[in-house]
Amino acid sequence: PEGVFSLCSGILSGKTDEVIKLLEEKMLAHAEKLEFELAGKLRDEIRAISTLGTKQKIISSMMSDTDVFALYTGESKTAFSVLHYIDGSLLESETRMTETPVYGEMSELLEEFVVRYYSGRTSFPREIYLQYEVSSSETLEEWLTSLSGKRVYVYTPKRGEKLKSVEMAEQNAREKALAAINREEREIRVLEDLKKILALDSLPER
């Protein structure tokens, strides 16, 4: 729903105060109508968002101008996820899909994707978090720094909020890969049914 999307966008962009104000107005409206159960649910949401807003402020200095990379390999699809943070707030997410199998270690695949992703770009983050340690992180840092014209740092977080951001990117990649696999399976089942109905020798291309 559009209202829920607007609230989520406000939270992700760090505008928790505005979201809380809107929810408080709705909570009071429900209370005036004696809809105390709905008012109570909104009260709990307000408390949760207030806690989230505090955490966002704490980690903002740690995740300013940061890109986070992760991948997930499914049976037929491999998804690469990129999360973009500005001043500690999640600004945007991207997903790139490729066919499985893809060959090589996960760290190698991730490093190759990072190199392809930034090749030809003119805008670079200050820090990059990777799901896996890469063997040539120093070389990767030097290459990115030379392209950017400013120092770029590459990390593989092991704990804390930085690790959570990597786990979020991994979860995003997993969900997108599985969704693509399920969609592909549904399409194949439809084509197989169509093949039987029309007595075709092979699956139709459309």
**Given this model, what pLDDT does residue 108 score?**
92
Single-letter residue type at 197:
I
Peptide bond into 157 cis (omega under 30): no
* Spans of the chain, pLDDT less than 50: 1-14, 58
Distance, in Å, from the CA atom of 118 to the CA atom of 115, rounded to the nearest integer, reads: 6
Phi, psi for residue 20 in degrees, rounded to 5:
-60, -40
Report the C-alpha gap between 91 and 159 in whole angstroms: 22
Tell me the pairing of strands 77-86 and 153-155: unpaired
pLDDT at 5: 43
Separation CA 43–CA 55 (nearest Å): 19
| Model pLDDT, residue 83 | 93
Task: Check if the beta carbon of residue 99 is closer than 8 Å to that of residue 123.
Answer: no
Write the DSSP symbol of residue 102.
-
Task: Using DSSP bridges, classify how beta strands 77-86 and 89-99 pair: parallel, antiparallel or unpaired.
Answer: antiparallel
Angle between helix axes 16-32 and 2-12 (nearest 10 degrees) is: 140
Query: Which residue type, as a one-letter code, is found at position 110?
Result: L
CA 52, 55, 57: angle at the middle one, nearest 5? 115
**pLDDT reported for residue 10:** 45
Q: Is the Cβ–Cβ distance between 140 and 134 less than 8 Å?
A: yes
